[in-house]
Amino acid sequence: MRTFRCVCGNTLFFENSQCVVCGREAGWCPTCRNIVALLPGEPGGHVCGNPGCRAALQKCHNYAVEQVCNRCLTIGFAPSASADAASQPLCDCCRFNDTVPDLSVPGHRQRWYQLEVAKRRMIYMLDELELPYGTEADRFPLPLSFDFKADAIPQDGVWRTMGNQERVYTGHANGKITINLRETCDVEREKLRVDLQEAHRTLIGHFRHEIGHYYWQLLVPGQCDQSFQAMFGDPENPLYAEALERYYRDGPPPNWRGAYISAYATMHPWEDFAETFAAYLDMVSVLDTAYHSNLGGPGAHGEFQAMLDYYCHLGVVLNELNRSMGLIDLVPEIFTDQVAAKMQFVHQLVRQPSAGA
């Protein structure tokens, strides 16, 4: 991830909707692909503050009305099919939302904002890797969409279980990614991380894992089934439901670190792929940020072994920095030869010409 520059000279970050120095509104310009100051334009519109762009812009509905987005559209765009005709249209990220949180519940707007921040960062990296995705309106073969739902209403900041009632499960099914709002609560998420003995549990990690399932369905079946099975195993044996029951009954095998990126990856080949895909997105995101922060390295578009080697080098340094502050490791994974081979499978899959078509 890059940093950006306001017209006043102050640094802008990917999440900014306002410059903290000059107070100008800021937002994502899809023409020059920068976070820019939004200068006055035609009534109801803005002009990109990048002097090399100056595109005419309009705020996304979820920026102008809901304050959970910071992206703009170029004026003259075709309205999104999912936008209310009476409202401003939705941007290239918000148009994938099928279900948003119930905003009548106190606190849900802030939780929705947290989800959108993580989703925008994920989509930024998908675009950097030139990975394909689209909506049903785009007639995309596997339409991507998001449901953000809650299964319990927090009262006095306390989340309560649903008992035998219907619950929302974070997951992916045929292009639909569902995230439970409970994952936006730092306390609840940390409880789950500790209970499940996970090295990390983050919102962006959920998005990266679930989009891994999406790209498995988009890029693997009927295209590279045999090579996938040789690397990750047969997804039909055992059946997913059987593997899930066994994992939560018995846990991972004791020697799992030799061949898997995480304990959860041992559950089933689909989860192994999704966990590996998420770890790959972690790597390219960190390398991209390091490159644009003048820390060197191959960035997000280098040769695989060079990328992995530099990521491991950065991991040692960043882990020690975190430990010096009493924080958990930034890069907790162990990249054995088998784990690296799985990461390289993902690298080759996302870089193949058909992936960006």
Residues 41-62: pLDDT tens digits?
887 789 999 999 999 999 999 9
Token pair, residue 66, equals: 């809901």
Of the residues 71, 91, 111, which one is the last residue of a structural domain?
Answer: 91
Q: Which of 219, 249, 284 is the last residue of a domain?
A: 219
pLDDT of residue 178: 95
> Are 239 and 348 in the same domain?
yes
Number of domains in the chain: 3
Long-range contacts of 346-352 (CB under 8 A, 24+ apart): 346/273, 346/276, 346/277, 346/280, 347/280, 347/304, 347/307, 348/304, 349/215, 349/219, 349/220, 349/224, 350/129, 350/131, 350/215, 350/219, 350/280, 351/129
At 101-112, the pLDDT tens digits run: 999 888 999 999
Residue among 314, 269, 148 at smallest CA distance from 277? 269
Residues 314 and 256 in one domain: yes
Q: Which of 35, 130, 58, 136 is nearest to 95 (CA)?
A: 136
Per-residue pLDDT, 309: 97
Q: Provide the pairing of β-strand 145-149 with 176-180.
A: parallel
The verdict on 267 and 155 lying in the same domain is no
Calculate what percentage of the chain has a pLDDT beyond 90: 81
pLDDT at 80 > cutoff 50: no
What pLDDT score does 44 carry?
74
Asked whether residue 103 falls in the same domain as residue 201, the answer is yes
Give the residue-averaged pLDDT of 279-290.
Answer: 97
Q: How confident is the model at residue 76 (pLDDT cuts 50, 70, 90)?
A: low
Say if residue 220's pLDDT is above 90: yes
User: What's the Cα-to-Cα distance from 294 to each of 1, 3, 286, 319, rounded to whole Å?
Assistant: 12, 11, 12, 19
Which residues are CB-neighbours of 274 under 8 A, at least 6 positions away? 209, 210, 212, 213, 216
Looking at residue 353, its amino acid is P
Q: Are residues 249 and 343 in the same domain?
A: yes
Domain span at residue 260 reads: 224-356
Non-local CB neighbours of 258 within 8 Å, separated by 6+ positions = 336, 338
Same domain, 138 and 199: yes
Q: Among 75-84, 175-184, 322-331, where is mean pLDDT lowest?
A: 75-84
The amino acid at 298: P
Look over the chain and give the mean of its residue pLDDT values, rounded to a whole number.
90
Closest CA to 44 of 16, 18, 65: 65
User: 3-class SS at 88?
Assistant: coil
76 lies in the same domain as 109: no
Mean pLDDT of 261-274: 96
* Angstrom distance (rounded) from CA 112 to CA 62: 11
Task: Assess whether 103 and 214 both reside in one domain.
Answer: yes
Same domain assignment for residues 186 and 228: no
Position 163 confidence tier, pLDDT thresholds 50, 70, 90:
low
Q: Does residue 87 share a domain with residue 24?
A: yes
Q: Do 273 and 352 fall within a single domain?
A: yes
Q: Among 167, 188, 219, give the residue marking a domain's end.
A: 219
The yes-or-no verdict on residue 226 having pLDDT over 70 is: yes
Answer yes or no: is pLDDT of 355 > 80: no
> Does 256 lie in the same domain as 351?
yes
